[in-house]
Structure 1
Amino acid sequence: MVDIPANIRIGEASLEVGRFASLAGFERFVAAYRRGLAAMEAPARTFDLSTAYGSVRVYRFGDDSGVPVVLIPGRNASTPLWRANLAPLRALGRRVYALDLLGEAGLSAQEAPVRSDHDQALWLEQALAGLGAADAAPYGPGFAKAHVLGVSIGGWAAVNHALRFPARVASLVLLDPAMTFAPVTWKMLVVSLGSVAPMPQRVRMRLLRWVSGGAEVDESLPEAALVASGMRDFQMRLPAPKPFSEERLGQLAVPTLVLLAGRSIVHDPCRAAARARSALPNGQVELWPEASHAINGEFPERIASLAGAFWAAAEP
C-alpha cells in the first residue's frame, strides 16, 4: 500500500510549481509506482519530510546500523527506479533510504518555487537533516552523515548538494551523472522533448529505448512505465541545472566514485571521464564501455560490489 500525500498538486495551473497535469495522468503514474514498489523489499518506514519548498517522500529499507546510503533517482523517475538495485545494496548490510526528487514526478510534493541551484541543494539538505533527526529508532541516534548515490540528474543533484553542505555527506557514488562533467548531447535534448511536447506513447517508448542503448523497453517493466508516465503526465517547473566549473569541481572534497557509461547518449563519456579525473581532488573514475545510461538497471550487482568496497574505504 502506498500512501498518497494530500498536498500533491493535480491539475492546478501554476507557472512556478510542478504538478500532474490531470487526475487520469496521476492515476497512471501511481499505478506504475505501486507496481514497482511492490516488486521491492517492503519499506521499514515511510516519511514525508517538511522543507521550505514542500514535502519530500523518503522510504527506509532495513534496520542496519552504521553510515546509511541515500539513493537519488534520475529525471521523471522516483523510488521504484531502484527495483534492481535495492537487494544487492541491502546485501551489503546497510540501511538504505530512497527519496523522490522534489519538483519531479513522484510522491514528493512541491509547494514553493525552486529558482536556483542553491534552492535545489537546500531542500535536499533540509530533507536529510529532518530524516537524520526523525529516524532514530531502533538503532540509536539518527545519522549525521550518509553515503549518497545518484543516477543521471540525481548525480548532478548529489554533487550540487555536497558542494554546499559537505558535512552531511560521507561520500558520493555517481552513476552516469548528467550535466556534471560534460554538457548534454543533441540526442539527449531530443529525448527531453518527450517531457514537454505532445507525442504518441510509442514514440516516448522509442526514446527510452534510445536512452537504454537500444535494449527493448516497454510498459511491462515498472521502471519504463514509471518514466514514460513521468514524461507524459508531470509538468516540471524547475530551473535547468547549471554545469559545474573546473574550479567548483575542484572544491568537491568528499570521496567520489564516478561510474560512466560508454554507450551513454547523455554526454560524451570519454570527455566526461577525462574531466572528472582531472577536476576531482578525491575522485575514483571508471568508464564502462558496455554500459548505457540505464547503467543502474544493467549492472546492479557490479555497482553494489564496487560501491560497498568504496564506502568501507571512505569510513574511518
Structure 2
Amino acid sequence: MSTIYRSAAGEQELQRRYQEALDHWPVPAEHLRIPTREGETFVLASGPPDAPPVVLLHGSGTNATMWQGDIAAWSRHLRTYTVDVIGEPGLSAPSRPPLASDAYAQWLDDVLDGLKLTTTSVVASSLGGWLALDHATRRPGRVTRLALLCPGGLGRQRVGLLFKSLLLRPLGRWGMRRSVRSATGLTPAQAEPVLEQVALTFRHFIPRTERLPVFSDDALRGLDTPLLVIAGTDDALFDSSDTARRVRKHVPDATVRLLPGVGHAIFGQTDEVLGFLRG
C-alpha cells in the first residue's frame, strides 16, 4: 500500500474509479509514463501534436479528471498535457518532497524534458497553481503563459477549514459531505455531480497538511511571463482579496479576475482561459 492512502483496499478502489474515468475521457488521448527523479509521472496527451503545448496541473486531492470539462475545447486548438501530480490520488508516484525546496521545480523539469518541451504554457489550480508559479519563478523563460485558478502561495492561507474538517470527519458521510461543501463553496445542488467522488477520495486518501510556502514580493516581480489569475471571493482556503492585491501590485501587467460569490472550486472558465492561452 502507498503511504498516501489509508488502506490498500481504499487505494484499489480509487484506482479503479480513476481508470473508469480515463476510459471515458472526452477526447482521444495518449497515456504517457514519464520517468523522473521522484518516480514515474502519468500524463494524458491530447490534441494536435503540432499545436502549441499547454501543461495542466491539478489541485490537491484530485487528478487529471479535474480538467475533463475543459479538455475538449482546449485540445481543439492546443496540444494538452494533463499531468497527474506526484503525491496525489492519480497514477503518478506517491512521492512528496518538501515544498520548501526546489524538488518540485526539478520534478517538473524532468516532466517537461520527458515530453520534449523546451517551453510551454501552463494552466494550474490550487496546489498545482503553487507548483506552476514555483517553477516559473525558478526557471525564467520556460513558461510562455501562465493561467492560475485559485492558486496557493499568493494570498494568506486559511487554516480554520482544516480544523473544521477534522471535527466533521467522525460524523461519517454527512460530515465528509459538509466538509467538501465548505472547502469548495458549492451549494448542495451544484456539488452533487462531484460530491460523491470527492467524498470517496478523502475517505481513502491522506491529504497533505504542509502549508504552502508564500512567494516573496521579489519572486513575483521577477515573473517574465503573461499571467492570468482567476479566484473566487468566497474561497475558504486562500484569501483571494490578498491574492489579487499582491498580483496587481507586483505583476502589474497580469490579468486578475475575482469571481463574486465563488468559492475554491472554480468552473465555467474554459473560454476565458483558452482566450488567454491563444492571445
Give the TM-score taking structure 1 as reference length.
0.79
- The answer for the alignment partner of 1:99 in structure 2 is 83
SS in 1 for 2:188: coil
Q: 1:114 aligns with which of 62, 84, 97?
A: 97
Cα offset, 1:285, TM superposition: 1.0
C-alpha separation in 2, matches of 1:188 and 1:144: 39
Q: 1:215 aligns with which of 187, 193, 199?
A: 187
C-alpha separation in 2, matches of 1:88 and 1:194: 40
Q: Is 1:231 matched up with 2:202?
A: yes
Cα offset, 1:81, TM superposition: 1.4
Tell me: CA distance 1:123–1:194, structure 2 relative to 1, closer, same or farther (3 Å).
farther
Cα offset, 1:96, TM superposition: 1.0
SS in 2 for 1:117: coil
In 2, are the aligned partners of 1:32 and 1:225 still within 8 Å (CA)?
Answer: no
Tell me: CA distance 1:49–1:277, structure 2 relative to 1, closer, same or farther (3 Å).
same
In 2, are the aligned partners of 1:36 and 1:83 still within 8 Å (CA)?
Answer: no
Which piece of structure 1 moves more, 282-291 or 50-59?
282-291
SS in 1 for 2:103: helix
In 1, are the aligned partners of 2:165 and 2:176 still within 8 Å (CA)?
Answer: no
- The answer for the alignment partner of 1:67 in structure 2 is 52
Q: 1:182 aligns with which of 155, 160, 164?
A: 155
- Segments of structure 1 that go 5 or more residues without pairing to the other structure are 1-9, 12-17, 133-142
In 2, are the aligned partners of 1:29 and 1:226 still within 8 Å (CA)?
Answer: no
How many residues are aligned here?
A: 278
- The answer for the alignment partner of 1:169 in structure 2 is 143
- Segments of structure 2 that go 5 or more residues without pairing to the other structure are none
Q: Percent identity?
A: 29
Tell me: CA distance 1:181–1:312, structure 2 relative to 1, closer, same or farther (3 Å).
same
Give the TM-score taking structure 2 as reference length.
0.88
- The answer for the alignment partner of 1:81 in structure 2 is 66
- The answer for the alignment partner of 1:5 in structure 2 is none
Q: Is 1:308 matched up with 2:274?
A: yes
In 1, are the aligned partners of 2:228 and 2:254 still within 8 Å (CA)?
Answer: yes
CA RMSD of aligned residues (A): 2.6
C-alpha separation in 1, matches of 2:192 and 2:231: 27
Tell me: CA distance 1:71–1:209, structure 2 relative to 1, closer, same or farther (3 Å).
same
Cα offset, 1:147, TM superposition: 0.9
- The answer for the alignment partner of 1:45 in structure 2 is 30
C-alpha separation in 1, matches of 2:218 and 2:44: 35
Which piece of structure 1 moves more, 33-42 or 203-212?
33-42
Cα offset, 1:27, TM superposition: 2.1
Q: 1:262 aligns with which of 209, 233, 236?
A: 233
C-alpha separation in 1, matches of 2:171 and 2:225: 42
Q: Is 1:25 matched up with 2:10?
A: yes
SS in 1 for 2:35: strand
C-alpha separation in 2, matches of 1:238 and 1:99: 22
Q: Is 1:149 matched up with 2:123?
A: yes
SS in 1 for 2:34: strand
Cα offset, 1:258, TM superposition: 0.4
Tell me: CA distance 1:191–1:255, structure 2 relative to 1, closer, same or farther (3 Å).
farther
SS in 2 for 1:266: coil
In 2, are the aligned partners of 1:205 and 1:218 still within 8 Å (CA)?
Answer: no
Tell me: CA distance 1:193–1:119, structure 2 relative to 1, closer, same or farther (3 Å).
farther
In 2, are the aligned partners of 1:194 and 1:231 still within 8 Å (CA)?
Answer: no
